[in-house]
Amino acid sequence: MHSPKKILALIGARKGSKGLKNKNILEFAGKPLISWTIEASLRSKYIDHTLVSTDGENIARIAKAVGADVPFLRPARLATDKALIGDVLRHALLWLKENQGKTYDYLMLLQPTSPLRTTRHIDEAIAYYFRHRKTPNDTLVSVIKAPAKMAWLMQKDKKGYIDFCFDIKGQKHRRQNAPSYYLPNGLIYLAPTAVIRRGNFYSSNTLPFVMDKKVSIDIDSPEDFKHALKMFLLRKASVL
């Protein structure tokens, strides 16, 4: 499929988290939360290298024990809540090249806060990307389909009046004319490293990888954690 192209999976995990303290290493269904993402990446038949970028020694220790590569601790300037993920990715790519002589053709970003994302999702996203990309600069972002009523989203103007945000071919109130809209779910991002070095995953050449809403959970609060665990246990029960 993409051989001999090399794919780097990067898992970014700061030690500081405001919504849910120490969320990346909280026990989730018997394992530290980050372990689920690391293991899913390591089992992929397409990913060549799984790296964790973190500023936390405890996170690094756990990640290494699971099998991820943690060759550096992220600089403090890239570990604040204002740090841009693009800068984190570029730092990792440059570090690998300068310190280990390693380069990669593609980079996949996997958030450690999505434990319902599996190896199957990762491999299907990669296969989808190489099957549907149209240019060497295409990127991919996982999404969920937005509710149909999203087409009727309204906004207030400067005068205090409201109007529809989208004019659906002049037929604003006809449901059958409403196009499909999508929301990023934060589970999978994929791009050529050449694109990452000068930009990010979103461009005019971004492919959507549509995922099930049931697995599209990004944990950022105690409520998210409880919901994710509930969905995880329900899925496990259905498999058994």
Nearest Cα neighbor of 117 from 213, 220, 223 is 213
Could you list the pLDDT tens digit for every one of the 240 residues in the chain?
555 689 999 999 998 777 788 899 999 999 999 999 999 999 999 999 999 999 999 999 999 999 999 999 999 999 988 889 999 999 999 999 999 999 999 999 999 999 999 999 999 999 999 999 999 999 999 999 998 888 888 999 999 999 888 876 555 555 556 678 899 999 999 999 999 999 899 999 999 999 999 999 999 899 999 999 999 988 876 654
Nearest Cα neighbor of 19 from 186, 220, 227 is 220
Q: Are 10 and 109 in contact (CB under 8 A)?
A: yes
First to last CA, the chain: 33
What are the chain's domains?
7-144+181-239 (3.90.550.10), 147-180 (no CATH)
Helices 57-66, 33-42: axis angle to 10 degrees equals: 40
Stated as kind and residue range, the H or E segment containing 188 is strand 182-192
Q: Are 68 and 51 in contact (CB under 8 A)?
A: yes
Q: Are 224 and 217 in contact (CB under 8 A)?
A: yes
Residue that is written with structure tokens 């809540």 in the block: 81
Counting DSSP H helices and E strands in the chain, the numbers are 6, 10
* Predicted TM-score (pTM) of this structure: 0.90
